[in-house]
Structure 1
């Protein structure tokens, strides 16, 4: 929470007003922000100065790990964050690569689980990493990336958190995640939860101890229509202590995520929070 609140205040104090050409809405913006999450000690990074919807964030991550490319698939597992980008983004609605209602295109999970090689074959980035780590291999390139420059126009949104690098030091597994763009009041906490849960799951899949997750953001911003709620309500609240995350011990391998795991297999303990804040979402 301290890192989160410090970033909000830094954007308010140092940010520059930038008009976003895609949305037409101004953003108060800074470049370069960093977070660290202590996964080993299970300090779950959920926001406490407003209610955080952690199950929706975890559902979104599950959809990425399964390689989903359709908003209906995300809705089915408890995540509604892709409905507007799939169905209300006018640029995407006019895009010839869009297949039908709810189609998201070749973004996130599709790239991670089904990267297309020049010869037309598919490459599963996630399985490569898991297989290497299970054999004790860290080739300094245990990387999964959702950002495919050759297929950027084939998706409804350019991936925001686009690359995850796993690093092995002895028996401890670390994660470094890179994000090109971050809506701080609304989207950041989803991204924080993604980093934390991804490292915790990957450590379990590969039989290592989870260490820290490092989260690096390039463009961190607050939309103009979010600023009053942030300044007048959220930043005036006193944060509570971070809770812990309990993951069903029966989850042991990637195939479990692909076949039977649901958000009900993830429970947070000791979560105290202030009331929800309905921040506007800008498509």
Structure 2
């Protein structure tokens, strides 16, 4: 199949979600079939774009299947703590990251512990969680504690203070809104081999114009069916939080995909979802303004106007 490109503007559609469905259809019908890291196989296109206007509290929350936005919100708040162990997520019932440490545990120990048993042990046993629940320096570690090293007179290097990219972006948006350097980067080349999964949503850049905060997210690898709905929500949520903290109005979210793909074993999900019509216009209300970007709680967010179709289950590729 020929590789296709997608660059769609939300204003071309009656409902903003239609561009997401158009992208899904394009990848499924025109994408090149490829052998991927997981061995499952994908249909893939390279270089895609979606645009969403967040004015009037609008959010890109997919309605053609139920998206558990509180789960995605808990993950984002976990990123902002800099934590890399799944135990805080497990204790909140968030299952997003469980498969990766479980696969490592089985591979390294030869123990046939089931995923459910592994997760139960992570929750009950702090020592076990410390040994087997860590994902390496993923997302949040890079966002709020990017490692630095200082050169010494003896020719060696010593560990320096970590860089809190999120805090620096908040400060730069307040003090120098016209800067072109409002960036949060997750792709730390020196530490990729220590990560359970190198960052997919890797680069966030923010832009201020006419009192509005815009965001571009570049995602190197994107599972359109399972991952992208969460990625869109999380990026828009981070943008809304930064808007509130910097006293700017939320502007446009521009999502850019590199390898944009669908897994071959997700055919049932794709066909069912493409047969559905978007319904409703979800809005997000932030119920309080914390003193810091790092002090939000899941209870601070309320979604209105969300009347989704039923969920569609599909396996996660690890």
* C-alpha separation in 1, matches of 2:147 and 2:107: 21
Residue 89 of structure 1 deviates from its aligned partner by 4.4
Does the residue aligned with 2:207 lie in a helix, a strand or coil?
strand
Shift in CA distance, 174/161, structure 1 to aligned 2, threshold 3 Å = same
Question: Are 1:166 and 2:222 matched, yes or no?
Answer: no
Structure 1 residues 89 and 83, CA, compared in 2 at 3 Å: closer, same or farther?
same
1:113 touches 1:125 (CA, 8 Å); kept in 2?
yes
Q: Are the aligned partners of 2:144 and 2:166 in contact in 1 as well (CA < 8 Å)?
A: yes
Contact 1:183–1:222 (CA<8 Å) still a contact in 2? yes
Partners in 1 of 2:178 and 2:41 — Cα distance? 42
For 1:247, the equivalent position in structure 2 comes to: 286
Q: CA deviation at 1:139?
A: 2.7
The answer to whether structure 1 residue 133 and structure 2 residue 180 are counterparts is no
Mapped to 2, the partners of 1:27 and 1:43 lie a distance apart of 32
Aligned to 2:78: 63
- Counterparts of 1:239 and 1:182 in 2: how far apart (Å)? 21
- 5-14 or 40-49: which moved more? 40-49
Aligned partners of 2:103 and 2:39: how far apart in 1?
Answer: 15
- Whole-angstrom distance in 2 between the partners of 1:198 and 1:57: 11
Does structure 1 residue 73 correspond to structure 2 residue 88? yes
* Cross-structure match for 2:132: 101
Equivalent-residue separation in structure 1 for 2:93 and 2:258 (angstroms): 29
When the two chains are superposed, the root-mean-square deviation of aligned CA atoms in Å is 1.9
C-alpha distance 163-77 of structure 1, shift in aligned 2 (>3 A): farther
Question: Could you tell me how far apart the structure 2 residues matched to 1:7 and 1:79 are?
Answer: 28
Shift of 1:253: 2.3
2:245/2:289 contact within 8 Å kept:
no
Work out the CA distance in 2 between the residues paired with 1:78 and 1:161: 23
Distance of aligned partners of 1:225 and 1:90 in 2 relative to their CA distance in 1, 3 Å threshold: farther
Q: Helix, strand or coil: the match of 2:24? A: helix
Which stretch shifts more, 266-275 or 84-93? 84-93
Displacement after TM superposition at 1:137 (Å): 4.0
Distance 1:13 1:196 in 2: 28
In structure 1, the partner of 2:243 is 203
Decide which of 294, 300, 312 is 1:265's aligned counterpart. Answer: 300
Structure 1 residue matching 2:70: 3-state secondary structure: helix
* Paired positions, count: 274
| Cα distance between partner residues in 2 of 1:35 and 1:198 | 17
- Paired residue for 2:148, among 117, 123, 148? 117
> In 2, Cα distance between the equivalents of 1:78 and 1:163?
28
State the alpha-carbon separation in 2 of the partners of residues 86 and 142 from structure 1.
33
Aligned CA distance change for structure 1 residues 137 and 209 (closer, same or farther; 3 Å): same
- Contact 1:87-1:93 at 8 Å conserved across structures: no
Instruction: Kindly indicate whether residue 34 of structure 2 is the aligned counterpart of residue 18 of structure 1.
Output: yes
Where does structure 1 differ by over 3 angstroms across 4 or more consecutive aligned residues? Answer: 89-94
Any unmatched runs of 5+ in structure 1? none
Conserved 8 A contact 1:204-1:252: no
CA distance in 2, matches of 1:93, 1:170: 54
Q: Which deviates the most, 168-177 or 69-78? A: 69-78
The answer to whether the 8 Å contact 1:68/1:74 transfers is no
Equivalent residues of 1:39, 1:199 under 8 A apart: no
- What is the SS of the residue equivalent to 1:254? coil
Higher gyration radius (CA):
2
Q: How does 1:24-35 map to 2 (within 5 A)?
A: 24-35=39-50
Residue 234 of structure 1 corresponds to which residue in structure 2? 273
Q: C-alpha separation between the residues in 2 aligned to 1:168 and 1:197?
A: 17
State the Cα deviation string for residues 13-36 of structure 1 (Å, max 9, x = none): 21111011x211110111111111
